[in-house]
Structure 1
Amino acid sequence: MSQTHLQKQCAGFLNTPPLWQKEQFGIKQFEFPKIDWSTFQPKAISERIRLGHQMEHVFKQLVEHSEAYEILLHNLPIKDGNRTIGEIDFVLKNTQTRQLIHVELTYKFYIINPEISEPIHQLMGPNRRDMFFTKMEKIKNDQFQLLHSHEGSKALHNKDIDHTKILHQACYKAQLFDPYRSNPVNIRPLNTECFTGYWLRFEDFKTADFKSFEFYIPFKAQWVIEPHEDVQWTSHFETLMDINLRMLKENTPMVWMKTSETEFEKFFVVWW
């Protein structure tokens, strides 16, 4: 992974808004500390690990660079005998107040499906396998409670951390994509600043609306970053052929579209 891509990935993570502000659904949102970007030099992150794990490394490096928190532990597996029953993402210590904070990190890409009536249930992964409501409930009912289980409190005690002194928070960042040419979608109490693009079906992408533009299909590690000029752009026809193969494999690609030398759009072409 090049240094330029690392910088763009870290900037993309940092600039992605939280999915909600302050506290919602009984989950307090982690307030990211100020980062001195001029002195930040990201360390290498393996491209072989999945995007969620890459984001953990980005989070870790950014928090370490700030002076607001000390990282006490990261990715601590919790075991029941030989069986791993869960993992604690981060425990931080506020360097001013000394308060301990357990942070569960989540970075997601959600499309909004207005066919579902309840806004909180409308958010789903582009392949329809990843539901926001399910993830949010898991954080609150499973991952937060793990620290206070017998196995979790014992693992923390072995690290000289008292589980009763810990506050629970989530760093839950997301990019949202509403339906192509739709009316504004109501997602409150979620953060409307998370909207970053749109989604459409393959039949829509075949239309004349898109024929005059150039396209790029980013790798998963590039999904986080802002679209930019410095990639290999292809014609609408070439992109159609590429996307058609992905549709057959039931895989939803993200697509960047160049509308001018300095303006870009991004969207998902869903297979379903």
Structure 2
Amino acid sequence: MISALQQQYIGFLNTPQLVFNSDEFPYSNFQLTEVKKNLPKDFKMPDSIRLGQRMEVLMEAALSSHRYQILSKNLQIIAEKQTLGELDFIVNDLTLKKTIHLEMVYKFYFYRPELTGNWIDKIIGPNAKDKLRFKLNKMSSHQFPILYRPETTSYLKSLNLKAEDLMQQISFKAQIYLPLNHKINEVEILKDPIQGFYFRVEELEFFNKKDFSFYIPHKNDWVSAPILESIKTDSFSVFYKKISAALKEQRSCIFWVFESDIKVQRHFATWW
């Protein structure tokens, strides 16, 4: 049986990246290749850390291969007792013989066709905040420029590096969910990140069919692909009671749907 951590790691590796053209975002995508598909036997996930931090730990595991050399992780830039920011990773790509300042993001998003603007303006977090546009603006105006701040020079010097010698790239992994009945071919984004649909509580009746069973994964397992092995699924009535309680607390969450133990779907339920 594959462990939950290994399932999360596989899910992390298999999550597609968002792709932006140069007008939308000026930094290129980092291509994670030649990685180990299995976590080390002695791998430990720190306790009580946020989901985003867990993704950073999984990225570190992915980078721990013969191709990459991690020079720095979560390098905090501090000046006059104030933290100016943090550089997620500095890595050597031994194949390309380049040193990379890598920023990484892992997000769950809804596509909201009713919003104005281009596709970036229509991508927003499951709890009706955390806009993709805001995230990209913050990264391009603050996060990436930290590398070139005078205060960063001494930190880079300790690694025998200069800012101008580093390539800056992003790994922006995301799962995107569409409104119920929205056609995928009507969405102006790459199809790979689309994982399923999002449902308001009144729309969940769509699943009230005898062939369906349900499971609400722990948040740490949101990154994992749905699996039936070793989990106890619920009938619709039990599932509906559980999911309704979460939504009343204004907590959107992922759920897995199993149809006749063969077809598996991953969707989101939302409170708003």
Cα deviations by residue, 1:192-235 (Å, 9 ceiling, x for unpaired): 21111110100011x25434221111111100000011212112
Residue in structure 1 matched with residue 87 of structure 2 by the alignment: 88
Give the equivalent residue in structure 2 for 1:260. Answer: 260
Distance 1:46 1:129 in 2: 27
Structure 1 counterpart of 2:208:
210
**Aligned partners of 1:180, 1:102: CA distance in 2, in Å?**
39
Verify: 1:232 aligned to 2:221, yes or no.
Answer: no
Aligned position for 1:6: 5
Tell me the CA shift for residue 262 of structure 1. Answer: 2.5
Q: 1:123 to 1:222 in 2, by over 3 A?
A: same
Contact residue 120 and residue 187 of structure 1 kept, 8 A? no
Q: Deviations over 1:146-188 (max 9, x none)?
A: 0111222232223322111111100111111111111235454
Instruction: Read off the aligned partner of 1:197 and give its amino acid letter.
Output: G
2:60 corresponding residue in structure 1: 60
- Alignment gaps of 5+ in structure 1: none
What do you get for the CA RMSD once the two structures are aligned?
A: 2.0
Could you say which residue in structure 2 is the equivalent of 1:180? 180
Query: 1 CA distance for matches of 2:40 and 2:252?
Result: 34
In structure 2, C-alpha distance between the alignment counterparts of 1:113 and 1:60, rounded to whole Å:
32
State the alpha-carbon separation in 1 of the partners of residues 169 and 206 from structure 2: 46
Residue type at the aligned position of 1:253? C
C-alpha contact (below 8 Å) 1:18/1:191 kept by paired residues:
no
Alignment of 1:16-165 (within 5 A): 16-20=15-19, 25-37=25-37, 41=41, 43-65=43-65, 67-118=66-117, 119-165=119-165
Residues 16/49 of structure 1: CA separation in 2 closer, same or farther (3 Å cut): same
Identity %: 28
Contact 1:178–1:185, Cα closer than 8 Å, also in 2:
no
Q: Distance in 2 between matches of 1:176 and 1:42?
A: 33
Task: Give how far 1:266 is off.
Answer: 1.3
Give the alignment's TM-score, normalised by structure 2. 0.92
TM-score relative to the length of structure 1: 0.92
Asked if 2 retains the 8 angstrom alpha-carbon contact of 1:42 and 1:61, the reply is: no
